[in-house]
Amino acid sequence: MIVRIRGSYITIGQLLKKENFVNSGGESKFFLLENVVKINGIRVTTRSTKVRIDDFVWINDELIEIKAIDER
């Protein structure tokens, strides 16, 4: 799956909300503790961790590629 973002990054908590894994920021804290979430192969447990353009995010076994929104 490809997710397109504005700007140079999105936090993992925002990404979880954007892709409907959680409904709120509070839920994302617990989601990160109870599920395997990795950015470029490194496990993350804090919702403020930044995900940048061209990063790969694994949420459990689902792969998400982060790309920039094409603003022509």
For the chain, how many residues are written? 72
Domain 2-68 class?
alpha beta
* Beta bridge partner(s), residue 10: 51
* pLDDT for residue 70: 80
Q: How far apart are CA 15 and CA 9, in angstroms?
A: 10
Which of 66, 63, 62, 70 minimizes the C-alpha distance to 11? 66
Q: Which pLDDT score, from 0 to 100, does residue 72 have?
A: 60
Give the per-residue pLDDT at 26.
Answer: 87
What is the structure's pLDDT at 22? Answer: 96
Q: What global pTM score does this model have?
A: 0.88
User: How does pLDDT run along the chain (72 residues), one tens digit per residue?
Assistant: 999 999 999 999 999 999 999 998 889 999 999 999 999 999 999 999 999 999 999 999 899 999 998 866
| Domain ranges (residues) in the chain | 2-68
pLDDT for 71: 67
